[in-house]
Copies of this chain bind each other. A is one copy, B any other.
C-alpha cells in the first residue's frame, strides 16, 4: 500500500518562497497566475499486510507527529492500494 502525505503552510502563514515564484512567473509573462503556495509531499510505502484502518491511523500519526510542524503547517493524506 502507498500513502501520500501533503504538508502545506496554514493559510494564515506567509509563504515567501511561493511569493518569489509568483513574482518570477509574472515577470516571465504569465499574466493569469494568481497566488502560488509551496508545500511538501511524502510518498510512503507500507507493509502489504496492513489493514486500511490500521494504515490510515498509522499514517495520520506519522503525519501529525513527524512530518508536520503543527504551529504553522497542516496536512492531508490519501492511501492507495496497489493495482
Asked whether, in the complex, the Cβ of A21 is within 8 Å of the Cβ of B34, the reply is no
User: What residues of B have a CB within 8 angstroms of the CB of A44 in the complex?
Assistant: 33-36
Chain B residues in 8 Å Cβ range of A55:
32
Q: Does A40 contact B (CB under 8 A)?
A: yes
Bound Cα distance A40, B67 (Å): 13
Which residues 37-58 of A sit at the B interface, judged by CB distance below 8 A? 37-47, 50, 55, 58
- In the complex, what residue of chain B is closest to A24 when comparing beta carbons? B66
A21-B66, A30-B62 given; A8·B45 CB < 8 A = no
Distance to closest chain B CB from A52 (angstroms)? 13
Binding site for B on A (CB under 8 A): 6, 8, 18, 21, 24-25, 28, 30-47, 50, 55, 58, 62, 66-67
